Amino acid sequence: VNHLLGIKYLKKEDIKLIFKTADHFKEVINRPIKKVPSLRDITIANLFFENSTRTRLSFELAEKRLSADVINFSAASSSVKKGETLIDTVNNILSMKVDMVVMRHPNPGAGIFLSKHVKASIINAGDGAHEHPTQALLDSYSIKERLGGVKGKKVVIVGDILHSRVALSNIFALKLQGAEVKVCGPKTLIPKHIESLGVKVETDLRKALEWCDVANMLRVQNERMEISYFPSTREYTQQFGLNKKMLDSLNKEIVIMHPGPINRGVEITSDVADSENAIILDQVQNGVAVRMAVIYLLASKIKQ
Name the site residues for ligand CP (rule: CB under 6 A).
52-55, 126, 135, 259-261
Output the smallest distance, CB 249 to ligand CP, in A: 29
Say which DSSP state 219 is in. Answer: P
Q: Please tell me whether 261 is known to bind a ligand.
A: yes
Strand 214-217 relative to strand 154-158, pairing: parallel
Q: Please tell me whether 132 is known to bind a ligand.
A: yes
Say which DSSP state 142 is in. Answer: H
Using the minimum distance from each CB to ligand CP, give the nearer residue, 86 or 125. Answer: 125
Single-letter code of the amino acid located at 214: V
Output the smallest distance, CB 254 to ligand CP, in A: 21
Q: Could you give the CA distance from residue 144 to residue 163 in angstroms, rounded to a whole number?
A: 26
Tell me how many degrees the CA angle 69-72-73 measures, rounded to the nearest 5: 145
Decide: 154 and 213 in contact? Cβ < 8 Å: yes
Output the smallest distance, CB 17 to ligand CP, in A: 23
Output the smallest distance, CB 278 to ligand CP, in A: 15
Q: Please tell me whether 106 is known to bind a ligand.
A: no
Q: Please tell me whether 81 is known to bind a ligand.
A: no
Q: Please tell me whether 231 is known to bind a ligand.
A: no
Query: Phi, psi at residue 258, to the nearest 5°?
Result: -155, 130
Using the minimum distance from each CB to ligand CP, give the nearer residue, 108 or 260. Answer: 260
Q: Please tell me whether 165 is known to bind a ligand.
A: yes
Using the minimum distance from each CB to ligand CP, give the nearer residue, 132 or 211. Answer: 132
Q: Please tell me whether 105 is known to bind a ligand.
A: no
Output the smallest distance, CB 263 to ligand CP, in A: 13
Output the smallest distance, CB 50 to ligand CP, in A: 8
Using the minimum distance from each CB to ligand CP, give the nearer residue, 74 or 91. Answer: 74
Residue 169 CA to its chain's centroid (Å): 7
Q: Please tell me whether 56 is known to bind a ligand.
A: no
Bridge partners of 182, per DSSP, are: 156, 200
Residue 112 CA to its chain's centroid (Å): 17
Residue 261 CA to its chain's centroid (Å): 12
Using the minimum distance from each CB to ligand CP, give the nearer residue, 125 or 247. Answer: 125
Output the smallest distance, CB 52 to ligand CP, in A: 3
Q: Could you give the CA distance from residue 6 to residue 230 in angstroms, rounded to a whole number?
A: 29
Using the minimum distance from each CB to ligand CP, give the nearer residue, 46 or 269. Answer: 46
Q: Could you give the CA distance from residue 182 to residue 251 in angstroms, rounded to a whole number?
A: 19
DSSP H or E run through 101: strand 100-105
Q: Which residues contact 1 (CB under 8 A, 6 or more apart)?
A: 9
Using the minimum distance from each CB to ligand CP, give the nearer residue, 128 or 259. Answer: 259
Binding residues, as ranges, are 54-55, 82, 104, 132, 135, 165, 219, 260-261
Binding residues for L-aspartate, as ranges, are 82, 165, 219
Binding residues for carbamoyl phosphate, as ranges, are 54-55, 104, 132, 135, 260-261
